[in-house]
Structure 1
């Protein structure tokens, strides 16, 4: 399987491709805040729900963060039990975002600050030693535990070994450990200089090239494509900084200056991830409807007739749908409770075979996923841990009015929903083409009648009227 990475510095996004298919989509926008470290002030304390709200002022919408009592384990009372009695109003805390804000929920915070590296994660406020669950060999686990015991007496803080730690020498790990400790000392200095402020950003990962090489690059990657020569220099610097080129000397670094996203069909992949209906091969289709913490997936057989075809064909269609569902959940980054309504199967043996196939599909998902057995209504329940924003949330947060116009135009059938976000009329292109339309709250439209009239309308109405006018003139708007 050929694995490539595409990084667009102009659009501040990246994609991981497996055999030219979108496997993962990463974007850095103004609302991205996971891993950021802030100085915050305690705004409210709720003893009944054992929660604290800390003012950190991420943006205009999210001004507070949520901390549960279990995340205050570093602030303990005399009985060594996490308690809200050890904190007071307007007390200042050094907090880190561990879960993104989504829809109307504030981000979740913790006082257990950690600084990530490629091979280790430094946690300065505790003394815990952890090893990644992806490291399966016992000899490697024992080696890393011994290395942690050698490091700990000479320094402070906890250490977490990532999966990449088994591929490098001890000197590289020790060097990165010292760099992370030095970075924490700089954060302490910045914090001491800004104690008078109620909230302040101390640390942020804003470089997408650094994030991709640190968190997503591995030895199976064969090529990295970028759109700017300056971005290629950054990529090469981080690869040499983490000694990645020594383990993969055949890695190709290429610059595609024109139409990088169109060449790898990332626009069409985003369009498919935003559509509600997905076609299946050889027959059938699925509907995906996502709510705040619940996703409903319905599998339809299309023109398939059970009476004219053998019963075993139902299992084949369901397995084909399960493969596409696992791919869509991965690419869209759907989390929460997922309810799947497959084509009805009478045989219990076929149901167990489908569940085994689903377990195999979700086995290599980095997010913790659990597949539950068939319910009495014939539904399959899947739970997936939230690891970031979905593509739908990223689109809505990047441009809030975009989804309203999209749904309105699809509802009145001005456009085909499957072609609205095609390769030529993608989400990114639509943002650029509609930016002038969204620049103000009201628009003036003058008619060509002798009596000149000025009509005021909302943004969505103006866009719809404009597209309808162009459609009558037989002009391709997008």
Structure 2
């Protein structure tokens, strides 16, 4: 598999696209007025402790107070070297009231960006990533990324890291996936860098007032270099010379093997247009996703969960119905995995595959979904296929979905996804006329409404309108309002 990373920089927005074998897989977005907060470190002040929820709200200087759960707080049993023996004492988290108190100062890191009406999610388990390692100032030992599957390489990396880990130094490390094949010198350089950075951050945190930023994560273009680039990335193209130079400087210091793969794109045609990324972004905002076979997916994102419905559509390519359904579900499984990454959908996800009679087919569809999701950086967990073809799964939600970042609720339907029909609005107007005629004295009535509503009142509903005039004994005038939405109207007494 070959992959390219495309970075598009505009005055107020930076976008990065991960393209694998010519197909867009993920899109990352950062705007100047709404930069992501994940991994930022703040000096906070506890504003409220909620024993019933085993949580606290922390003021870190944002619009909404952030949320800190007891399970995300380092246990107070601190050793002499300044770090806990375990993040949670023998699997039991302490009571929130013994961990924090209102008005107390606390150093926290953002786990999840603010989503909708919810504030940011925090942790006191500070982690600082570099190219090959993640440093945990309050952890201990050496951990290896689960994505490194070769046991011999896992053993080599663990033993190499242990050689450089001094017993008198606080903290522990996680060896990242990118470290596969890394030299001992590279790992040692990362360790020294992280220790120096943490010493600087600790000193800054001591001098920072509560409610202020202590450390901000790298900007998107550099962050993509650190987190997404792997041995499978053949090229990184950026269309902004200044950003390109910063990326080259970062690579020269931390990723010398990537230097010859970074290029500054100078073509006339926009880089996202050249690779069809803009078109794919627009498609990812649509509810319906067509499959090559003629089938399609329907994706609905709600506050509580995301539902995905699989349909055969025009696909009738096999001799039996069961085989047609099976082939459609297999294709859908791969498409669903891509859509989850591309749209950055998280939380609870329900997939309604087409009902399959054979148990073996259900197993194969589930295996296809698991395989397609194996390259997803976000942690996910899949349940079994129920007899109705439903699959329950979760995907870790850390930032807002693409739809929430690029779109807002429709002002006409207020996010419901539908508006009242013209017929329904006409009948509401009739009831409103009757209601007002019984309560008030007037000479005539005027109905202000959308053009389609007025036209129906003059056509299909003209007889009913005439009956109302007879019933009220007053004339009813109609007036079109160009700025009214279809379900908006007013009944005015004259």
Residue aligning to 1:44: 48
Give me the TM-score of the superposition, normalised by structure 1. Answer: 0.78
Residue 115 (structure 1) aligned with residue 118 (structure 2): no
Residue aligning to 1:15: 17
Quote the Cα distance in structure 2 between the aligned partners of 1:135 and 1:252: 25
What do you get for the CA RMSD once the two structures are aligned? 3.0
Residue aligning to 1:448: none
CA contact (8 A) 1:54 1:67 kept: yes
Matches within 5 A, 1:333-372: 333-372=344-383
Cα offset for 1:97?
0.6
CA contact (8 A) 1:33 1:100 kept: yes
Residue aligning to 2:106: 93
CA contact (8 A) 2:131 2:255 kept: no
Cα offset for 1:86?
4.0
CA contact (8 A) 1:77 1:85 kept: no
Residue aligning to 1:274: 285
CA contact (8 A) 2:43 2:213 kept: yes
Cα offset for 1:132?
0.7
Mark the runs of 5 or more structure 2 residues left unpaired by the alignment.
80-87, 420-480, 487-494
Residue 218 (structure 1) aligned with residue 230 (structure 2): yes
Over alpha carbons, which structure has the higher Rg? 2
Structure 1 residues 171 and 380 mapped into 2: Cα distance closer, same or farther (>3 Å)? same
Residue aligning to 2:159: 146
Q: SS state of the match for residue 160, structure 1?
A: strand
Quote the Cα distance in structure 2 between the aligned partners of 1:341 and 1:385: 20
Q: SS state of the match for residue 372, structure 1?
A: strand
Cα offset for 1:151?
2.6
CA contact (8 A) 1:17 1:23 kept: yes
Residue aligning to 1:66: 67
Give the number of equivalent residue pairs: 408
Quote the Cα distance in structure 2 between the aligned partners of 1:382 and 1:87: 34
Quote the Cα distance in structure 1 between the aligned partners of 2:414 and 2:18: 29
Residue aligning to 2:2: 2
Equivalent of 2:202 in 180, 184, 188: 188
Cα offset for 1:289?
0.1
CA contact (8 A) 2:347 2:397 kept: yes
Give me the TM-score of the superposition, normalised by structure 2. Answer: 0.75
Quote the Cα distance in structure 1 between the aligned partners of 2:186 and 2:318: 64
Residue 255 (structure 1) aligned with residue 265 (structure 2): yes
Q: SS state of the match for residue 9, structure 1?
A: strand
Cα offset for 1:142?
2.4
Of stretches 330-339 and 121-130 in structure 1, the one that deviates more from structure 2 is 121-130
Q: SS state of the match for residue 311, structure 1?
A: helix
Of stretches 230-239 and 360-369 in structure 1, the one that deviates more from structure 2 is 360-369
Residue aligning to 1:202: 214
Q: SS state of the match for residue 217, structure 2?
A: coil
Superposed CA offset, 1:356-389 (max 9, x none): 2222222222222222222243322222222432
Matches within 5 A, 1:152-191: 152-153=165-166, 155-191=169-205
Mark the runs of 5 or more structure 1 residues left unpaired by the alignment.
413-456, 466-478
Of stretches 284-293 and 81-90 in structure 1, the one that deviates more from structure 2 is 81-90
Superposed CA offset, 1:265-309 (max 9, x none): 222111111110111122122110011241111122224579985
Q: SS state of the match for residue 330, structure 2?
A: helix
Residue aligning to 1:57: 61
Equivalent of 1:389 in 392, 395, 400: 400
Q: SS state of the match for residue 356, structure 2?
A: coil
Residue aligning to 1:102: 115
Quote the Cα distance in structure 2 between the aligned partners of 1:94 and 1:341: 43
Q: SS state of the match for residue 330, structure 1?
A: helix
Quote the Cα distance in structure 2 between the aligned partners of 1:306 and 1:227: 44
Structure 1 residues 201 and 5 mapped into 2: Cα distance closer, same or farther (>3 Å)? same
Q: SS state of the match for residue 134, structure 1?
A: coil
